[in-house]
Amino acid sequence: MKDTLITAQRKKTELITAGVCFLLAFLLNVGCILYYKTPFSDIFSQIGYVTVIAVALYLIWTGIRLIIWLFRKK
Amino acid sequence: MNDHTMTRKDFLSSLAIGGTGLALFPWLASCTPEARKQTAGQKARLGIIGTGSRGRFHLANLLVDPAAEVVALCDDYEPHLDEAAAMCPGAKRYADYRKLLEDKEVEGVLICTPLSFHARMTVDALSAGKHVFCEKAMAHSPEELRSMLDAWKAGNRVLMVGQQRLYDPKYVRAMELVHGGAIGQVVGIRNYWYRNNDWRREVPSPELERRINWRLYDAYSRGLMTELACHQLQNGSWAMGGIQPSFVTGTGSIQFWKDGREVFDSVAAIYQYPNGVHMTFESIISNKHYGMGEQILGSEGTIDLVRGIMYSEAAVRRSGIRQLLDQIEQGVLSNSAFAGTSWATEEESHDKGIRFVDNVTVNDGASSVGASGDGSVELMHAFCQAVITGVQPDRIVEEAAWSTLLALLGDRATREGRRIDIPASLSDLPSYCI
């Protein structure tokens, strides 16, 4: 089996992607708090939902990138 | 544990300190630890008339009750008598209940026979000076019910009936909450009992069909109303603080089990109370998806009696993000092509409720004998206590008589498909006798 090299650039890209996904989920939660007029304590109490949404966004974005990569490879 | 939750041990302890429980439920006085101490070491000498499945269920409970000694067994169906005798080899065997009633050793009897025999046996037993525990429902007709009440009032013997919910901590606690105003004003009572079996028992030879499957025939039973509804209708009287419905209407049919039976396999009855509150009972025995349900609906909450949970009417706060996700889910799953925005399913409450008793046991309804933890053990012990002391538990006969009468009149309403008025008191019963 061949050693796999993850470059510093790749790590940086993935960390930024994950961070952006979390930020989007976090902003969605804040938006919902404002729209549905619920307490601001939900910023912390709903962190579980935020995390799940962030992971979902990251996976969706990864899927899209994978499809693009496959097309480019052809 | 929260403020509304209690265990069986808590329940018995709370009776000891004379809380609201005993004022609301006086028949529980014999369950207090003090009352139990007073009769410690004494035994009620009992005979069981009818050793079928229910009789043996009680026998099994009595055999482990220190206040009970089963001295006689009676059944005219030998295989059942043999099975009971195997459980209690020391007991005398009788094939005729009148011979058992002549037995001086027997202080009290349990009548666990088909419904149509309850009245005659109870009257004979009370006349013979025996204390009586009669299985529910009490009687096969209002006339028979009248004769049982007259016989009981004429003597000084104890009469108790197999309404085990009266001794079930879950129901007692629920009624304490109802009467304490926890769910506001009672605005409705819903009962349903769904099973998916033919209600038949195996018959060794065809001539025994009616004896074994007596529940299916008019001459012996009033079907789902006396066998199942009788338990649940009692909840209404209990929740409404002793006020009885003014009338009942309903319908029934044999729609699935067309096997020669005479009683309905599907019934729906509605009882209306003087204040306009409705109590419903529905039973179908060809679909068990929803199982058994008994719900007291209040203006401020709902009590699920079967599961021991109280729900609040107050809106449950949901976070903004949860609301958004629910809306997305609803949008994805709803079928707008069918009805559009003018019609939408009204959501049920999201309140998870408060469990107000621990260790709630539920069963799938397949057994028609009895369930564990349903108050039967406490009921049997209370009967033993009553036999030993000779003290009639308060109000228990009235509770049972009303539930039987409601079941019988509900049966009449479903058979005749018309509204049947319900008497204002049990003393008006003779006018209902045809």
Q: Tokens representing A7?
A: 């470059």
Q: pLDDT per residue over B183-224, tens digit each?
A: 999 999 999 999 999 999 999 999 999 999 999 999 999 999
Structure tokens at B403: 């539930």
The whole-number pLDDT of residue B17 equals 40
Residue contact A38–B325, C-beta within 8 A:
no
> Residue B240: helix, strand or coil by DSSP?
coil
Q: Which amino acid is at B239?
A: A
At B277, phi and psi to the nearest 5?
A: -70, 140
Distance from CA of B184 to the nearest CA of A (A): 28
Task: Name every residue whose Cβ is closer than 8 Å to that of residue B49 and which is 6 or more positions away in sequence.
Answer: B55, B74, B75, B97, B100, B109, B110, B111, B112, B113, B121, B125
Under DSSP, the state recorded for B157 is -
A35 in contact with B, Cβ within 8 Å: yes
Look at B319 and A50 and tell me if their CB atoms are within 8 Å: no
Torsion of CA A12, A14, A19, A22, to 10 degrees: -170
% of chain B exceeding 90 in pLDDT: 71
Name the band, by pLDDT with cuts 50, 70 and 90, for residue A73: confident
Which residue reads 């005749």 in tokens? B416
Query: Which residues have CB under 8 Å from B127's CB, separation 6+?
Result: B151, B155
pLDDT in tens, B62-75: 999 999 999 999 99
| pLDDT reading at B81 higher than 80 | yes
Segment among A24-28, B27-31, B122-126, B414-418 with least mean pLDDT:
B27-31
CB contact (8 A) between residue B320 and residue A50: no
Q: What is the pLDDT of residue B121?
A: 98
Mean pLDDT of chain A: 94
Q: How far apart are CA B72 and CA A52, in angstroms?
A: 67
The mean pLDDT of B146-157, rounded to a whole number, is 96
Beta strand pairing status for B159-161 and B354-355?
unpaired
For residue A28, the chain B residues in CB contact (below 8 A) are: 321, 324
**Chain segment B347-356, per-residue pLDDT in tens:** 777 788 889 8
Residue scoring higher pLDDT (B366 or B270):
B270
Query: CB of B194 within 8 A of CB of B288?
Result: yes
Average pLDDT, chain B: 89
A2 — pLDDT class (breaks 50, 70, 90): confident
ipTM of predicted complex: 0.83
- The whole-number average pLDDT for the span B322-348 is 67
Chain A residues in contact with B322 (beta carbon < 8 A): 46, 49
CB atoms within 10 A of CB B246: 16
For residue B14, the model assigns a pLDDT of 52
Question: How large is the angle between the packed helices B78-87 and B53-63, nearest 10 degrees?
Answer: 10
Which residue, among B113, B64, B112, has the nearest Cα to B87 in the 3D structure? B64
**pLDDT exceeds 70 at position B335:** no
Mutation target for A interface from B316, B321, B328, B329: give the one with most A CBs within 10 A. Answer: B321
Chain B residue numbers touching A29 (CB-CB < 8 A): 320-321
Average pLDDT over residues A24-29: 97
DSSP assignments along B372-410, one per residue = TTSSHHHHHHHHHHHHHH-PPPTTHHHHHHHHHHHHHHH
Closest CA to B46 of B385, B422, B407: B385
Tokens standing for residue B61: 């409970």
Asked if residue B406 has pLDDT above 60, the reply is yes
Distance CA B118, CA B68 (A): 22
Nearest to B230 by CA among B114, B374, B403, B413: B403
Per-residue pLDDT at B1: 37
Taking contacts as CB-CB distances below 8 angstroms, the residues of chain A near B321 are 28-29, 32-33, 42, 46, 49-50, 53
| SS3 (DSSP) at B427 | helix
Q: Residue B16: pLDDT above 70?
A: no
- Provide the pLDDT for residue B142: 94
Domain ranges within chain A, ordered by starting residue:
9-73
Out of A34, A42, A53, closest to residue B319 by CB: A42
What is the rounded average pLDDT of the residues B38-53? 94
For range B11-24, the mean pLDDT? 56
Stronger pLDDT, B349 or B278, i.e. the higher one = B278
Query: Which of B397, B420, B352, B364 shows the shortest CA–CA distance to B162?
Result: B397
pLDDT at B3: 46
Banded pLDDT at B329 (limits 50, 70, 90): confident
Burial B370-398 (b: 16+ CB within 10 A, else e): bbebbbbbbbbbbbbbbbbbeebbeebbe
Instruction: Note the pLDDT of residue B342.
Output: 55
CB proximity A50 to B under 8 Å: yes
At B429 the pLDDT is 81
DSSP string, chain A: -------HHHHHHHHHHHHHHHHHHHHHHHHHHHHHT--TTHHHHTHHHHHHHHHHHHHHHHHHHHHHHHHHH-
Q: Tell me the mean pLDDT in the region B221-236.
A: 95
For residues B432 and B327, the model is more confident at B327
- Structure confidence at residue A4 (pLDDT): 87
